Structure 1
Amino acid sequence: MTETLTSHRTGTPAPPALGGLGLFTVLLAAALPLIDFFIVNVALPSIGHDLAASESVLELVVAGYGLAYAVLLVLGGRLGDLFGRRRLFLGGMAAFGLTSLACGLAPTAWTLVAARVAQGAASAAMLPQVLATIQSATAGPRRAKAMGLYGATAGLSMVAGQILGGVLVAADIAGTGWRSVFLVNVPVVVVGLILAARAVPETRAQRPEPVDGPGTVLLAATLLALLAPLTEGRSAGWPLWTWLSLAAFPFLAWTFYAVERRADRRGRTPLVPPSLFELTSLRRGLVLIVPFACGFSGFMFVIAMALQRGAGLGPVRAGLALVPLAVTFFFASIAGPRLVGRYGTRVVTAGSLLQGIGLVLMILAARHSWPHLDFVTLLPGGAVAGIGQALQLPVIFRIVMSEVPSARAGVGSGVMLTTQQSSLALGVATLGTLFLSLVPGMGMRDALVATLLVQLAGVALTGLLSLRLPRTIG
């Protein structure tokens, strides 16, 4: 009310407000792309059998979505700033529903790959608008609470995707089998569109900046040069193109930075303004996202493989083994904002310590209980790790966006989400490849232990980097 009166007296329009229903709607949309990144993991064996797809084609079902999603996120954020975030949100959500339907009805493996690429592009149009809308249509304690809920939603979605995928495949609803993991999105999108039309306010940059064509092409080429060989290399046998692509990555990254810096100096509008990285909170938060997201996605992939192929659990029991992690993540996420208000960013350091303890408990369970890993044996480690992860992810998101001005909320969220998504894909590629490469020589148990030890090193790195954060969040 005070804000409205002040705006009236000064003659400036009141900023749009994001109410409770609107926040629920954008968080629902934020969950969909992340769930879809993980939900397909447990459905791959059924997809391969039903569509007679080779392992390399199945890799493309996962990688095609992830690559399109990561490559187009910054562009999606910029388009929201330019044309209106609500408009892009509605269009992206509608496209996500249609492409999910196309995935669920795909008659062949290659049709499914094409639909997954389109689904990733739709996600890239929709998701940046969530954070940009929160940043532009909330303030003060409401923004802190909304950002905390966004982080909690993101973390839970990554765990829930794998659990939900196992349940849907096993349930075989109306004989749909694996197709239900995509078709389930359609009614959710319909509800989301109805709610969004009523409750999500329109926001945009006051002085919209045009799209940077050269920067967009160079960023896409840079990310593809890194992620495409890492995601496809193992199944393809590491052909020459993978090594050439990885060799080209640093040159493309340098070229992208040079072009963006030159555009900034000449008064043009780069896709990713280098000046954005002058924000200390954004720069340090992005550095924290990389090891955290790599470890998170790598762990989810490796534990699913170990439980199903090594411990002999079906998709439902393998998913249920992760329930303790999801439950403690949820409740710790609720307590997170109060803890941050009292202890500041030290909560991130404490979270990394707890996550490390949880991983150690899981390593001990794998060594002493193999192959009888299940809900009970993984409960202590999963529960502690879930608390630790919940004390990190939502807070890191708040740190990244804390100093980003509302006018650049779209590009800021796009940069953060691109870093997160690229790191998720990188985690599956690196830790997944390490695990699968170790299995023939070491066996499933020791390969799992070795991979978790590598992840433990990443958790330690996150904890050390968090010590450089400012104590309070703006």
Structure 2
Amino acid sequence: MLMGAALAPIDLFIVNVALPTIQADLRASNATLEWVVAGYGIGFALLLVLGGRLGDAFGRRRLFSVGLAAFSLTSLVCGLAPNALTLVVARAAQGAAAALLVPQVLSIIQAGTAGERRARVLGYYGATGGISMVIGQLLGGVLVSADLAGLGWRPIFLVNVPIGLLAMWLARRTLNESRATDPVGLDLLGTPLLGATLLALLVPLMEGHGLGWPWWCWALLAAFPVLLVGFFQVERRVEARGGAPLLPPSVLRMAPMRHGLFIAVPFFAGFGGFMFVYALLLQNGLRLSPLGSGLALTPTAVAFLVTTLLVARLVNRFGRRVMVAASLVLVLSLLVLIGTVLSTWPALTVWHLVPGTLLFGIGQGLAAPTLFRSILSRVPADRAGVGSGVLTTTQQTSLALGVATFGTLFAVLSAPGGVAFAHALTVVSTIQILTSILIGALALRLPDPRESGI
């Protein structure tokens, strides 16, 4: 199960170090690179709740295996993609496959374990995300730099095929089938409507600058609020009829959930934007190799992993103040990165970046688990699964939004090349500093996670 659970986050991070290589090989624009990253997140976000409900209805082991098969197949298509459009479509399909796969892991753990064994396995699951981040950065750099059989960036996707097949074989031999006794229905209208709403916002943000802002970009932006209101109207009617909406309005009306999501959107958008922008700076700005780029990002991943393993004790002692401290660490990390880049450019090296990236990983490791725990702390036990689905969908959507907004801004500001990369990073990081300060102030209104006993 952990092998399957690791595939989704590994592929979220492994692609970052390959972006410039993909751009050169497929003659892709910066907007296309944004789609390569964001398309995965959109596919993941849209079908995540649906994937969990399908597993409850038709069998979790079955959907786990179906998700693995689909992920392996879409990874193969990504690795063989002859052009940028094929890669973008395959990445969105890969995200959708991950959405079928990932929700089954926690469901199988809950159904098949108890007591101390469950606590131990959940600990392994929690560590998997951090470990996957480390593996993704390093493995991506190694595979692209090795240029196996002259394939360049393609092995970062092709490597998923044998791993997926092995995980499928192990699943058939080791996992018992389970399903919910009273499965929740599917939101067949809300899911595509949410997809249309997100695309109405993200398509013009990513494509508008490169195309000179044609009329249809403005039309989509004008349609976005209309579609958003329509989506919530549909969700309200579905819930009023006793159905199972994708994002239940009753959960969104809970003050801790509503306030927490208001923090979660800029927080996760900032993280997604930072990872995308930083990857472009390292390779397009500093001309680092993919392996060098992976090594430069490794302190962030390692610091994130170690911090997430320790943060539970800090939250038990200090409560929501950990979130405030995390925002201060993030502000400090971005200030250090700005100072380092401006003072050493163009002689900037990987070693110069270690202090800033290390602090950024610590800040993220402190904030992410604390935010999840605080938001879900007041959600009733019988709605915990729904609350988790809402939060995770928001997380993945926000990551894609961060890539679209910060990625486009960075591309516009760094267009002349040279020192413009340093100035572009400064502008993007300054916006994120202001956002982090706001997040720290708002975190004081989060519920104390210690009160829930989670």
TM-score normalised by L of structure 2: 0.88
* Correspondence for 1:298: 273
1 CA distance for matches of 2:380 and 2:118? 13
* Correspondence for 1:167: 142
Check if 1:208 corresponds to 2:183: yes
Q: Counterpart of 2:424 in structure 1: which amino acid?
A: A
Check if 1:240 corresponds to 2:240: no
Unaligned runs of 5+ in 1: 1-24
CA deviation profile, 1:354-406 (whole Å, cap 9, x unmatched): 12211111111112111222222111112222111111112223344455567
Higher mean Cα deviation, 278-287 or 389-398?
Answer: 278-287
User: Shift of residue 419 of structure 1?
Assistant: 0.8
Which of residues 421, 434, 437 is equivalent to 1:444? Answer: 421
1 CA distance for matches of 2:120 and 2:313? 9
User: Shift of residue 114 of structure 1?
Assistant: 3.5
Which of residues 157, 160, 167 is equivalent to 1:192? Answer: 167
2 CA distance for matches of 1:445 and 1:183? 34
* Correspondence for 2:337: 362
2 CA distance for matches of 1:104 and 1:213? 31
User: Shift of residue 73 of structure 1?
Assistant: 2.3
**Other structure's SS at 2:63 match:** helix
Contact kept, 8 Å, 1:168 with 1:181, in 2: the verdict is yes
Q: 1:232 to 1:204 in 2, by over 3 A?
A: farther
Q: Counterpart of 2:42 in structure 1: which amino acid?
A: L
1:26-425 alignment to 2 at 5 Å?
26=2, 28-51=3-26, 53=28, 58-133=33-108, 150=125, 152-155=127-130, 157-158=132-133, 160-198=135-173, 200=175, 202-402=177-377, 411-425=386-400
Contact kept, 8 Å, 1:77 with 1:410, in 2: the verdict is no
Contact kept, 8 Å, 2:326 with 2:363, in 1: the verdict is yes
1 CA distance for matches of 2:325 and 2:236? 37
CA deviation profile, 1:116-154 (whole Å, cap 9, x unmatched): 232122112112333445566677887777666655543
Q: 1:362 to 1:169 in 2, by over 3 A?
A: same
Unaligned runs of 5+ in 2: none
Q: Counterpart of 1:380 in structure 2: which amino acid?
A: P
Q: 1:64 to 1:391 in 2, by over 3 A?
A: closer
1 CA distance for matches of 2:346 and 2:189? 52
- Number of residues paired by the alignment? 449
Contact kept, 8 Å, 1:77 with 1:413, in 2: the verdict is no
User: Shift of residue 181 of structure 1?
Assistant: 0.6
**Other structure's SS at 1:312 match:** coil
Q: Counterpart of 2:297 in structure 1: which amino acid?
A: L
Higher mean Cα deviation, 54-63 or 113-122?
Answer: 54-63
Contact kept, 8 Å, 2:315 with 2:322, in 1: the verdict is yes
Check if 1:458 corresponds to 2:441: no
* Correspondence for 1:18: none
2 CA distance for matches of 1:425 and 1:47? 19
Check if 1:468 corresponds to 2:445: yes
Contact kept, 8 Å, 1:367 with 1:445, in 2: the verdict is yes
Q: Counterpart of 1:325 in structure 2: which amino acid?
A: T
Contact kept, 8 Å, 2:23 with 2:33, in 1: the verdict is yes
Contact kept, 8 Å, 2:39 with 2:400, in 1: the verdict is no
User: Shift of residue 307 of structure 1?
Assistant: 1.7
Higher mean Cα deviation, 277-286 or 303-312?
Answer: 277-286
RMSD across aligned positions (CA): 2.9
Contact kept, 8 Å, 1:148 with 1:394, in 2: the verdict is no
Q: Counterpart of 2:319 in structure 1: which amino acid?
A: G
2 CA distance for matches of 1:399 and 1:194? 38
2 CA distance for matches of 1:312 and 1:164? 19
User: Shift of residue 219 of structure 1?
Assistant: 1.7
CA deviation profile, 1:88-107 (whole Å, cap 9, x unmatched): 22211221012112222334
**Other structure's SS at 1:213 match:** coil
**Other structure's SS at 1:373 match:** coil
Q: 1:62 to 1:322 in 2, by over 3 A?
A: closer
Contact kept, 8 Å, 1:35 with 1:160, in 2: the verdict is yes
2 CA distance for matches of 1:163 and 1:379? 15
